[in-house]
A and B are shown apart, each in its own frame.
Chain A
Amino acid sequence: MTGVPRIVNRSLLGLAGLLLAVFGGSVLAVGLGVDPPSWWLHDSRHDVLLSDADRARWRDDGWWWPAVIAVLAVAVLLAVWWLAALVRRRRLAEVLVDTGDGAGALLRGRALENVLAGEAGALEGVQTAQVSLTGRRSAPEATVRLLLEPHAGPRDTLNRLTTESLAHARDSAGLASLPTEVRLRGAGHGAERAP
């Protein structure tokens, strides 16, 4: 996965959805005549969303405005962080290569990506290949996007990718394993008749 983990995205989306659904649903229910429990925000269908008394309840307390400003500031900062993380795609800058002599070496992530993409693109049945590395530099992960040539068999092409390109990249970088996610698309072409 690149960028923010999907868990973060999904948790925040779920939280926002829950808040909207609970408050929207409660206003809808009370507005349509359901009797709310006594401790609920609204008393009856003739109540208003936010009365002047509610709005001004803590206004004279010293902590009110600082608290409002702090909460808003935190929300804004979180939103900025979230947006920035969504836009920025985290890619692995370098991969740690175990050279066997205890010293190790650093391989540029972009270089490994290019080599892997070049090898995968040259495979039979593959039109183009895109590779991006994520994860940590001692445990990189790869995401591969393949565009299949017309008439290429997906299963066979995937097997070739695994046994040739991925195995080669893993061995040449001295990695114990290279977890990989592959997505295969097909290059569109017109219908052809067999002669």
Chain B
Amino acid sequence: MSEPQGLKSTQHLPVIEKTTESELGQSTSAADYIPLPAPDAAKDGSGRFWSARRVPAAVLATAVLAAGGLLLYDVVAVRADRTAMHWRGPLARELAERPLDDTWVLVGAGVATALGLWLLVLATTPGLRGVLPMRRPHPDVRAGLHRGAAALVLRDRAMKVSGVRSVRVRMGRRKADVRAVSQHRELDDVRADLDATLADGIRALGLTRRPALSVRVARPGRKG
């Protein structure tokens, strides 16, 4: 995918150029860029995406099924005058003999507590931290952008700034951290260009809550 830019036959390039041009006029410097959400963001936003917690639910259901099924089978077998499975005797003895301050009881209780707290966290937190809510284009439509896609868009924009040799974008939930390596141009100029381009790029992401922007530009190290 490395067509020269002058080639207008590709389908997607003209639109990007059009939006870039029309919006560059609005943002001339980084000082104009305010990372706060617009006043109506709460109404227009997609809201946080909540995970269905399918995998932990499947694991827990399997565990309950296995433990419950085994116990049920054995209890019914004993009722039907068969012998109990061999693990029931030793288990009952251990439960009845180990005091609560026994190391293994404490370890088991600690593990159970930690597991329980983790399940509570899973049950109450939204998850899906990798999906950034977007502004609703229509009241019926909710949309979320994966962080990787957002970082890719910003990187592509940053690579178009002249003098930029390589860019690394780390997209957080609240902050886009951009590190660029530049040659053949004043670092401050490159930085100013990057600020403007990326502020514009962040608008093009269409997120509910626009992330703050942090740009760092450096000369290439000796090792490149």
Q: Please list the residues of chain A having a beta carbon within 8 angstroms of any beta carbon in chain B.
A: 1, 3-6, 9-14, 16-25, 27-28, 30-33, 42, 44-52, 55, 65, 68-69, 72-73, 75-76, 78-80, 82-83, 86-87, 124-125, 148-156, 158-159, 162-163, 166, 177-186, 188-189, 191-195
CA distance A82 to B56 in the complex (A): 12
Q: A191, B159: Cβ atoms under 8 Å?
A: yes
Q: Are B206 and A49 in contact (CB under 8 A)?
A: no
Residue-wise interface mask of B (129-145) relative to A, using a CB-CB cutoff of 8 A (1 in contact, 0 not): 00100110110111111
A14 CA / B105 CA spacing, docked (Å) = 24
A9-B101 in contact (CB<8A): no
Q: Would B110 and A150 count as touching, CB distance under 8 A?
A: no
B134–A49 touching, CB < 8 Å: no
Cα distance A181–B19 in the bound complex, in angstroms:
25
Chain B residues with Cβ under 8 A from A9's Cβ? 52-54, 56-57
Other-chain residue from B92, B141, B155, B165 in contact with A182 (beta carbon distance below 8 A): B141
Q: Top 4 nearest A-B pairs by Cβ distance?
A: A155-B206, A17-B119, A20-B116, A186-B149
Contact call A181/B142, Cβ cutoff below 8 A: yes
Q: 15 A-B contacts, Cβ less than 8 Å apart? A: A17-B119, A24-B113, A27-B109, A31-B100, A31-B106, A48-B100, A50-B96, A82-B57, A162-B137, A182-B134, A182-B143, A182-B144, A183-B144, A191-B159, A194-B160
Are A125 and B148 in contact (CB-based, < 8 A)? no
Interchain CB contact under 8 A, A184 and B153: no
Bound Cα distance A195, B121 (Å): 49
B-to-A contact residues, CB < 8 Å = 1-2, 4-5, 11-13, 15-16, 19, 50-54, 56-58, 60-62, 64-65, 68-69, 71-72, 75-76, 79, 92, 95-102, 105-106, 108-124, 131, 134-135, 137-138, 140-146, 148-150, 152-153, 155-156, 159-162, 165-167, 203-206
Report whether A20 and B75 are in contact in the complex, using a CB–CB cutoff of 8 Å. no
Contact B54 A83 (CB under 8 A): no
Q: Quick one: which of A28, A44, A48, A163 contacts B97, CB cutoff 8 A?
A: A48
Shortest Cβ gap from B119 to chain A (Å) = 3
Complex Cα spacing A33 to B101, Å: 8
Cα(A73)–Cα(B64), bound, Å: 11
Which A residues are CB-close (under 8 A) to B11? 124
The residue in chain A whose Cβ has the minimal distance to the Cβ of B119 is A17
Which residue of A10, A156, A188 is within 8 Å of B204 (Cβ)? A156
Take A27-B105, A72-B72, A82-B61 as given contacts and tell me if A46 and B100 are in contact as well, using a CB distance cutoff of 8 Å. Answer: yes
Distance between Cα atoms of A48 and B98 in the complex (Å): 6
B52 to chain A, nearest CB (A): 4
Chain B proximity of A25: nearest CB distance (Å) = 5
| Complex contact A76–B58 (CB within 8 A) | no
A42-B100 contact in complex given A13-B60, A149-B12, C-beta closer than 8 Å? yes
Contact of B146 among A30, A158, A185 (CB under 8 A): A185
Closest to B3 in A: A192
Chain B residues whose C-beta falls within 8 Å of the C-beta of A183 in the assembled complex = 131, 143-146
Closest residue of chain B to A82, judged by CB? Answer: B61
Complex contact B95–A166 (CB within 8 A): no
Asked if B79 contacts A151 (CB within 8 A), the reply is no
Using A31-B100, A155-B134, A193-B159 as known contacts, say yes or no to A21 and B113 having CB atoms under 8 A apart. Answer: yes
**The one of A51, A65, A153 that contacts B153, using a Cβ cutoff of 8 Å:** A153
B141 near A152: Cβ-Cβ < 8 Å: no
In the complex, A16→B118 CA distance in Å? Answer: 10
CB pair A153–B16 under 8 Å, yes or no, is: yes
Check A14 against B137 for contact (C-beta < 8 Å).
no
Residues from chain B with a CB closer than 8 A to the CB of A17 are: 115-123
Contact, CB under 8 Å: B204 / A195: no
Could you tell me the distance between the alpha carbons of A185 and B115 in the complex, rounded to whole angstroms?
32
